[in-house]
């Protein structure tokens, strides 16, 4: 069973070879929203103060995504690319801060974080939202933090994310309750080791 990992917790994780050498740190996560998974990581140097490097780490080169490090077989897993391409890809695949709309046209909130499966999957599972009050009946707060499953289809255009309207029926502000409900929704019965 793969543990759910919040994307914000990946920022600054070391990228470590199976030989134990730290070769970079994660700067940002780039998503392939059509495939519903991590596409790559943009990187900073070996120390956190090094700044961006003109290399990225494509998901197929990741050996395993763990709680404390992103593991790669060796330093050859990092790909050289122009820094402008890394920045462009990072902006194109950015989900944090995006407005969330249903395919029915209802604005439901803003993405605060993204939950992905760790291990070797990298599958995008859910979003943590600053939800509008209408999404959380009975809430006295103008905005409320909730989890909503990715759903079967998702699209991103500019700074907007579109999710299926049916996904909002699985909203929960409690992660274990969400995992139980979303597991049924995805037909997998999977949970998170939290």
Q: Which domains are delineated in the chain?
A: 4-92 (2.30.30.240), 99-185 (2.30.30)
- pLDDT score at 174: 82
- pLDDT score at 4: 86
Q: With cut-offs at 50, 70 and 90, classify the pLDDT of residue 45.
A: confident
- pLDDT score at 66: 92
- pLDDT score at 22: 92
Q: What is the pLDDT of residues 49-89, one digit of tens each?
A: 666 677 889 999 999 999 899 999 999 888 886 655 545 55
Q: What is the pLDDT of residues 81-112, one digit of tens each?
A: 665 554 555 555 567 888 988 889 989 889 99
Q: Measure CA 141 to chain center.
A: 26
Q: Which residues are registered as beta bridge partners of 119? A: 65
- pLDDT score at 31: 85
Q: Measure CA 3 to chain center.
A: 13
Burial readout 132-146 (b: 16 or more C-beta within 10 A, e: otherwise): beebbeeeeeebbeb
Measure the CA–CA gap between 125 and 116, rounded to whole angstroms.
5
- pLDDT score at 14: 94
The pTM of the full predicted model, rounded to 2 decimals, is: 0.77
| Cα atoms found within 13 Å of the Cα of residue 114, Cβ hemisphere only | 28
Measure the CA–CA gap between 159 and 150, rounded to whole angstroms.
16
170 versus 9: which is more confidently predicted? Answer: 9
149 versus 18: which is more confidently predicted? Answer: 18
Q: Are the C-beta atoms of 171 and 136 separated by less than 8 Å?
A: yes
Q: What is the pLDDT of residues 139-148, one digit of tens each?
A: 555 558 888 8
Instruction: Indicate the length of the chain as a whole number.
Output: 194
Measure the CA–CA gap between 36 and 33, rounded to whole angstroms.
5
191 versus 45: which is more confidently predicted? Answer: 45
Measure the CA–CA gap between 56 and 37, rounded to whole angstroms.
16
Q: Are the C-beta atoms of 2 and 193 separated by less than 8 Å?
A: no
Candidate from 90-94, 115-119, 160-164, 166-170 with smallest mean pLDDT: 90-94
- pLDDT score at 1: 43
């Amino acid at each position: 069973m793969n543990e759910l990992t919040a994307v914000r917790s990946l920022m600054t994780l070391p990228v470590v070879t199976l030989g134990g050498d730290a070769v970079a740190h994660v700067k940002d996560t780039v998503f392939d929203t059509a495939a519903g998974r991590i596409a790559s990581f943009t990187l900073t140097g070996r120390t956190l103060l090094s700044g961006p490097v003109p290399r990225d780490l494509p998901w197929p080169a990741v050996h395993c995504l763990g709680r404390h490090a992103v593991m790669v077989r060796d330093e050859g897993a990092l790909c050289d690319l122009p820094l402008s391409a890394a920045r462009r890809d990072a902006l194109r695949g950015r989900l944090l801060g995006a407005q969330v709309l249903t395919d029915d046209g209802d604005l439901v909130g803003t993405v605060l974080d993204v939950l992905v499966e760790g291990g070797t999957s990298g599958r995008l599972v859910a979003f943590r939202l600053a939800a509008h009050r209408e999404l959380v009946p009975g809430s006295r707060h103008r905005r409320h933090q909730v989890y909503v499953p990715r759903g079967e289809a998702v699209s991103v255009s500019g700074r907007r994310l579109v999710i299926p309207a049916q996904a909002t029926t699985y909203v929960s502000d409690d992660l274990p309750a969400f995992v139980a409900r979303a597991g049924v929704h995805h037909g997998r019965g999977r949970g998170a080791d939290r």
